Amino acid sequence: MIRTGVVGATGYAGAELVRILAGHPEVFLTVLTSRRYAGVPFEKVYPAMSGMIDLVCEAYDESRICEKADVIFLALPHKLPMGFVPGLLKQGKKVIDLSADFRFSDLGVYESLYQPHTAKDLCARAVYGLCEVFPERIKGSDLIANPGCYPTSVLLPLFPLVKHRLIDPDTIIADSKSGVSGAGRSLSLTTHFCEADESFKAYKVGGHRHKPEMEEKLSLAAGKPVKITFVPHLLPMTRGMETTIYADLAREVKEADIEACFREFYAGRRFIRLTDQHRPPDTLHVRGTNLCDIGFVVEKDKGRIILMSVIDNLVKGAAGQAVQNMNIMLGFDEAAGLEFIPYAV
Amino acid sequence: MIRTGVVGATGYAGAELVRILAGHPEVFLTVLTSRRYAGVPFEKVYPAMSGMIDLVCEAYDESRICEKADVIFLALPHKLPMGFVPGLLKQGKKVIDLSADFRFSDLGVYESLYQPHTAKDLCARAVYGLCEVFPERIKGSDLIANPGCYPTSVLLPLFPLVKHRLIDPDTIIADSKSGVSGAGRSLSLTTHFCEADESFKAYKVGGHRHKPEMEEKLSLAAGKPVKITFVPHLLPMTRGMETTIYADLAREVKEADIEACFREFYAGRRFIRLTDQHRPPDTLHVRGTNLCDIGFVVEKDKGRIILMSVIDNLVKGAAGQAVQNMNIMLGFDEAAGLEFIPYAV
Amino acid sequence: MIRTGVVGATGYAGAELVRILAGHPEVFLTVLTSRRYAGVPFEKVYPAMSGMIDLVCEAYDESRICEKADVIFLALPHKLPMGFVPGLLKQGKKVIDLSADFRFSDLGVYESLYQPHTAKDLCARAVYGLCEVFPERIKGSDLIANPGCYPTSVLLPLFPLVKHRLIDPDTIIADSKSGVSGAGRSLSLTTHFCEADESFKAYKVGGHRHKPEMEEKLSLAAGKPVKITFVPHLLPMTRGMETTIYADLAREVKEADIEACFREFYAGRRFIRLTDQHRPPDTLHVRGTNLCDIGFVVEKDKGRIILMSVIDNLVKGAAGQAVQNMNIMLGFDEAAGLEFIPYAV
Amino acid sequence: MIRTGVVGATGYAGAELVRILAGHPEVFLTVLTSRRYAGVPFEKVYPAMSGMIDLVCEAYDESRICEKADVIFLALPHKLPMGFVPGLLKQGKKVIDLSADFRFSDLGVYESLYQPHTAKDLCARAVYGLCEVFPERIKGSDLIANPGCYPTSVLLPLFPLVKHRLIDPDTIIADSKSGVSGAGRSLSLTTHFCEADESFKAYKVGGHRHKPEMEEKLSLAAGKPVKITFVPHLLPMTRGMETTIYADLAREVKEADIEACFREFYAGRRFIRLTDQHRPPDTLHVRGTNLCDIGFVVEKDKGRIILMSVIDNLVKGAAGQAVQNMNIMLGFDEAAGLEFIPYAV
């Protein structure tokens, strides 16, 4: 049985990893770290899981972690992982990093958005862990850069269509809406209950750091540089992300071509569901699961497509996809530990 | 003092009219009608207003209404108003209709969306009551077609820019999000608490009846036919509507041109607020008020503008704008009875 | 492998049964009935479960159900089950009824609250399925009356203390708060989003039909008739039920006695968790699970105990406990199919 | 026209004072202070009120405040007001303090709960500003201790009944539920959106500092020491507080006696509404207003009364009652500036 550890286990993505790994049939959870809660039993930090997780949070200690775990998940703020990854890889561990540190091929873009990179040589080794798009590359990897939540919700509906040139990549506009848990557990006025409840608003308009991440991967699909318009918004709910995407169809492309493209590209992928044309995807239908529901409508008169996707930002947008990456890396069923059936309500 | 009546007082728009008119300094509320609650005191239907409204709901009776009221608000389902309006106008009443019945200049469009029209001769007489855009026409009118909530949130940010040719009207995409009260008080699974709570989704993608309404008015602004893409979504909250709009800028247009256009077009209009570039409009900031906050960001590299507007769908999107229309028709301060200060939270 | 069927599968309790049974390791789900949706695939009624449940809803047909299933769950409105149960039992099926029809020993009470009973002879045969309290009786039964949600949340903290005479049963006051899903999927103004959102209120004060159900079982624990005060309230959230209970302690009873009583009574019961004295139970910590968290505080100066319990009304308060009953009846691990780990948030 | 100032204007109670005073017909708002936001325009702190409040937050400066304002509201954390009040009174100002500093007659109790008192001589001069209970004393006062939100919701239904000996004060149990805004604008995990959303729980069970405040005032009503049981809970909504109270009726007391007592005690008080017996008070019905709705049910068989009250914790529970106190002190209509009509939804 594989042993797994979570570094940064007490943020929301970390805690979601704990929830999923604790119920995973093929792995053990053996070590949890937390700067803030070192020495505190995990179940005291998250009493929801009381009686179910008997690990105590520890300070980060490379040799101890390497001794205890075979696969290590890093659920840390950006910049920290690039300091930890080299050592972990040197000891032969498999690493899945949920931060942005290893997501970019173009280090210049990374450094302009985040900070100077201190493990540049490893960037080429890292595989961008968008599971349904790069499964083969993930299979052979020992360092996964787990995609951001917004990029996941934008790329899953767009990648197949851009790759197969069914839409014009220069016309893409993505209007995303995220539940508050996407902002994490750190306190701020924006995530204070009274300021988020019964409120809806855009934020970081035109300037969110997930946009260049999307653009790099879409450029890869298009085989040429792609720039998009992306606006994130904050929803008055905890979990869930919806993205509505607008793009011009390539010449002569019909509804049936779109559907066929999706069906082929995602054939056999259990976490992608195409929704009925008359029932747009609903965040509630994927809550707590690793699913991504995708729907679309073609506006014939304008030659435009409207794509809609929904995910749970903490699962498919973070911890769930990370575990799916592990499953693929280790040759497990990709759905192992992730077969959550959505609630009716 | 002017006497006012509300026909269809027990739906949400009707009840909001009651709330606003009951506190209006220049008018009396003298008659309320309701098919369903005829004979029932209004305060029994809405115990929130217990002790504040002493009228009893009545069945619709034209002669009685005309005897009791000078200005009549119709807050009814589509199709009913076109049966009532001719009689009310004949008796010299001023009428403000919140339905779609008199919103269209092009009756063919109306009839294709709703039903055959039975008062066609009055359509030309009706003025589309978008207060900040058509104040002069409203002033002299006795029949106002009060705009829909989505059209209000879309037209207020777009009309000035289209009219002054600062954007290319053929590229407009409007992504709207509405609180549940927009769907009214009629019961449905969509508005059942458990199905809307913690849920976000698009609906009527590409096919909402408010789209042709927007298009007709934008065509007027553009001086040529305009078609847009419009997608409404349902928010897990009661009141509030946000619209994010994407459009290509006309050649050479700069941020300062946009700002100048808004400042001039809406000079002196108390219900329009331009928000700071770094703080996108927030539905919570206009909740319960007749305000429309507008923000924008220019994407220079793409030559595109992102516009954002927020309103309270029941106030500026329905009852508040209706009262504002009355104020303008009667020569009152346009803000009379509408000077609600938003809550901090 | 055991085959199971759900009669009334499209209400919220029925759909929750489907969710749980579909993931249960020891049983198959073979038949679903629904009056309203007969002939419709279940996944069309609940698109959240699209791709996961391939059954089509059927009209109720006793012989067909008996042919298809070994254990039958009835998730129907009161009165219907008493018509179906006799036939099912006659065919040797095990039946778990989620309605009130078989919950009462005293038929006079049942008939005064609901309606005349048409299967009186079976009432004595039915076992009240409060799993942690009556496990032995459940084990040998073929007809389980699954407890109501409020009774479950009230009885689990009270039963041990009343039985061991640590509190005075004549002083019990239970103040309960329920999420909206407790009211089911039927449409009503009370459960209309806009009327429940940002609202909190009591309802059926002093007259809820679950009160006599609690009283009958508490009387059993006390060995004498017990009457309590019970007030239910409606919370602006979908799932979750909290009950705060007040009672006078019996003479000389100390905090440690209470704790010891709970620890002994619920020894080995995995779904009961005693919370830390400084952290009262939180509905969020049991959401989606079969857990019941119990906390208490002793007010020494008044000789009074304050008990708090939380459950998910659809799981431990309905479908989860029903499956737990099945597990006990069939000799499975009582947690089979119910080992949900709560979300962090 | 009277000039008013708010010290501590940027917390939620302070901002609510600003909202109400800005719309008050008899007063001007002339000065706002804020430690944290000194030098910042108020409308930048609360962009919801942009364009409506043109004051800049200042640091606290006694002489400047006294020069600018006649009535001063203190919306500060406990302990600060006792330092400011002596100086303000010396300069002849009228002071309304929203903290606990001057609420207690028994300083020993205050000091055991909060801290040593540094303005003891003024405590006897302060009047407890529960407007409908102590209007005469308020009228002549220059120092008002504005009641806490929980005490307001508990005392308004209880005071008349205890004073007229209709209930046994030794049996009182108050189960309160508060919206999150009661915890203020300070950041904490408890008020982080994701931890409060879809969650309900008790807190500070048996030990909330508002309990002794209630007990002191109830003792005054009873003419003897009264101890009660009080449990506060946190609701997943922003505004609103409901309290359900249980008490034994005094001998021979009937429903009609209770109703008569309320009708007489609160005769002519516009902010108290008795609700229909079949419609328990709903927090939504008083949202944003200074109203307190009270309902009750008598359990004849147990000789017990169930009382329910609802208020908006930020209005009647804080800023609204503070303004009402000012109105009474200055001889205005007690409802001046407070005539908000509740929303239908």
- What's the average model confidence in pLDDT over A237-259? 97
Mutation for testing the D interface, residue in A185, A188, A194, A314 having most D CBs under 10 Å: A194
Is the CB of A345 less than 8 angstroms away from the CB of C239?
yes
In chain D, DSSP finds a helix count (H) and a strand count (E) of: 11, 13
State which residue of chain B sits closest to A198, comparing Cα positions: B237
Q: A275 and chain B: CB distance < 8 Å anywhere?
A: no
pLDDT at C278 over 90: no
Which residues of D fall within a CB distance of 8 Å from B51? 270, 273
Catalytic residue numbers of B, as ranges: 149
**CA–CA min distance A329, chain B (Å):** 33
Q: What is the largest CA-CA distance in chain D?
A: 63
Alpha helices in chain B (DSSP H): 12-22, 42-45, 62-68, 80-90, 107-113, 120-123, 135-139, 149-163, 193-196, 210-222, 255-265, 320-330
Residue of B325, B134, D54 lying closest to B338 (CA atoms): B325
Choose the catalytic residue: C66, C123, C131, C149.
C149
Query: How many CB atoms neighbour CB D50 within 10 A?
Result: 20
Which residues of C fall within a CB distance of 8 Å from A285? 47-48, 50
- The values of phi and psi at residue D296, to 5°, are -155, 155
Q: A199 and chain B: CB distance < 8 Å anywhere?
A: yes
Q: C185 and chain B: CB distance < 8 Å anywhere?
A: yes
Is the CB of D51 less than 8 angstroms away from the CB of B282?
no
pLDDT of residue A278: 82
C185 vs B12, B191, B192: nearest CB: B192
B280 vs A205, A237, A295: nearest CB: A205
Query: Mapping DSSP to helix (H, G, I), strand (E, B) and coil, where does residue C339 land?
Result: coil
Match 């005054």 to its residue by tokens: D220
pLDDT of residue C335: 98
Q: What is the distance of C-alpha B181 from the center of its chain?
A: 13
**CA–CA min distance D180, chain A (Å):** 7
E-state strands within C2-45: 2-7, 27-33
Which residues of C fall within a CB distance of 8 Å from D280? 201-203, 205
Is the CB of B193 less than 8 angstroms away from the CB of C188?
no
Is the CB of B187 less than 8 angstroms away from the CB of C185?
no
Q: How far is CA B208 from each of CA A248, B202, D20, D39, D191, rounded to the nearest angstrom?
A: 20, 11, 39, 48, 38
Q: How confident is the model at residue B277 (pLDDT cuts 50, 70, 90)?
A: confident
Q: For A55-93, give one letter per residue: b (16+ CB within 10 A) or e.
A: bbbbebeeeebbebbbbbbbbbebebbbebbeebbeeeb
pLDDT of residue C220: 98
A285 vs C22, C47, C344: nearest CB: C47
Q: C196 and chain B: CB distance < 8 Å anywhere?
A: yes
Cβ atoms of residues A315 and A16 within 8 Å = yes
State which residue of chain B sits closest to C240, comparing Cα positions: B194
Q: What residues are paired with D27 via a beta bridge? A: D2
Q: Render pLDDT for B318-345 as a digit per residue (tens, 0 to 9).
A: 999 999 999 999 999 999 999 999 999 9
Which A residues 304-343 touch B at CB under 8 Å?
304, 306, 308, 310
Structure-token pair, residue B28: 């009396």
B191 vs C12, C192, C198: nearest CB: C192
Q: How far is CA C320 from each of CA A280, B288, C73, C102, C287, rounded to the nearest angstrom?
A: 30, 41, 12, 18, 12
Which residues of A fall within a CB distance of 8 Å from B301? 227
Q: How confident is the model at residue C207 (pLDDT cuts 50, 70, 90)?
A: confident
Please tell me which chains touch C, using 3 or more CB pairs under 8 Å as the contact test: A, B, D
Q: How confident is the model at residue D277 (pLDDT cuts 50, 70, 90)?
A: confident
Which residues of B fall within a CB distance of 8 Å from C198? 238
Is the CB of B193 less than 8 angstroms away from the CB of C192?
yes
Question: What is the average pLDDT score of chain B?
Answer: 97
Q: How confident is the model at residue B206 (pLDDT cuts 50, 70, 90)?
A: confident
Q: B181 and chain C: CB distance < 8 Å anywhere?
A: yes
pLDDT of residue B275: 96
Long-range contacts of A335-339 (CB under 8 A, 24+ apart): A335/A270, A335/A271, A335/A290, A336/A24, A336/A25, A336/A26, A337/A20, A337/A21, A337/A23, A337/A24, A337/A25, A337/A26, A337/A27, A338/A20, A338/A271, A338/A289, A338/A290, A339/C23
State which residue of chain A sits closest to D238, comparing Cα positions: A194
Q: Which amino acid makes up residue D167? A: I
Which residues of B fall within a CB distance of 8 Å from D12? 344-345
Is the CB of B194 less than 8 angstroms away from the CB of C198?
no
Q: D115 and chain A: CB distance < 8 Å anywhere?
A: no
Is the CB of D48 less than 8 angstroms away from the CB of B275?
no
Q: Is there a catalytic annotation at residue A123?
A: no
Q: How far is CA D82 from each of CA A20, D117, D143, D148, rounded to the nearest angstrom?
A: 52, 7, 11, 16
Residue of A209, A13, A216 lying closest to A114 (CA atoms): A209
Structural Rg of chain A based on CA atoms: 20
Q: What residues are paired with C246 via a beta bridge? A: C173, C306
Please tell me which chains touch D, using 3 or more CB pairs under 8 Å as the contact test: A, B, C
Please tell me which chains touch B, using 3 or more CB pairs under 8 Å as the contact test: A, C, D
Alpha helices in A129-177 (DSSP H): 135-139, 149-163
**CA–CA min distance A65, chain D (Å):** 29
pLDDT of residue C286: 98
Whole-number Å distance between alpha carbons of C60 and C34: 7
Q: What residues are paired with A252 via a beta bridge? A: none
Q: Render pLDDT for C17-51 as a digit per residue (tens, 0 to 9).
A: 999 999 999 999 999 999 999 999 999 999 999 99
Q: A61 and chain D: CB distance < 8 Å anywhere?
A: no
Which residues of B fall within a CB distance of 8 Å from A205? 280, 295, 297, 306, 308
Structure-token pair, residue B125: 């007489």
pLDDT of residue B278: 82
**CA–CA min distance B345, chain A (Å):** 6
Which residues of A fall within a CB distance of 8 Å from B302? 227, 229
- Count of pairs with CB atoms under 8 A, one residue in C, one in D: 137
- What's the average model confidence in pLDDT over B242-269? 97
Match 């105990």 to its residue by tokens: C305
Match 């346009």 to its residue by tokens: B334
Is the CB of D188 less than 8 angstroms away from the CB of A187?
yes
pLDDT of residue A287: 98
Choose the catalytic residue: D57, D131, D149, D261.
D149
Q: How confident is the model at residue C277 (pLDDT cuts 50, 70, 90)?
A: confident
Which B residues 237-266 touch C at CB under 8 Å?
237-238
Residue of D343, D345, D339, D306 lying closest to D324 (CA atoms): D339
Q: Render pLDDT for D183-213 as a digit per residue (tens, 0 to 9).
A: 999 999 999 999 999 999 999 998 899 999 9
The CA-based dihedral angle spanning residues C306, C307, C312, C315, taken in that order and rounded to the nearest 10 degrees: -160
Q: Render pLDDT for A75-125 as a digit per residue (tens, 0 to 9).
A: 999 999 999 999 999 999 999 999 999 999 999 999 999 999 999 999 999
DSSP for D164-201 reads TT-B-GGG-EEEEEE-GGGG-SS--GGGBHHHHTT--E
**CA–CA min distance D271, chain B (Å):** 10
Q: Render pLDDT for B158-203 as a digit per residue (tens, 0 to 9).
A: 999 999 999 999 999 999 999 999 999 999 999 999 999 999 999 9
Q: Render pLDDT for A3-36 as a digit per residue (tens, 0 to 9).
A: 999 999 999 999 999 999 999 999 999 999 999 9
Query: How many CB atoms neighbour CB D265 within 10 A?
Result: 17
Choose the catalytic residue: A131, A149, A261, A292.
A149
Domains contained in chain A, CATH given: 2-125 (3.40.50.720), 150-313 (3.30.360.10)
Q: Which amino acid makes up residue D102? A: F
**Among residues of chain B, what percentage have pLDDT more than 70?**
100
State which residue of chain A sits closest to C13, comparing Cα positions: A344
CA neighbours closer than 13 Å in the CB half-sphere of residue A107: 12
Q: Which amino acid makes up residue D185? A: R
Q: How confident is the model at residue D160 (pLDDT cuts 50, 70, 90)?
A: very high
Mutation for testing the C interface, residue in D180, D201, D239 having most C CBs under 10 Å: D201
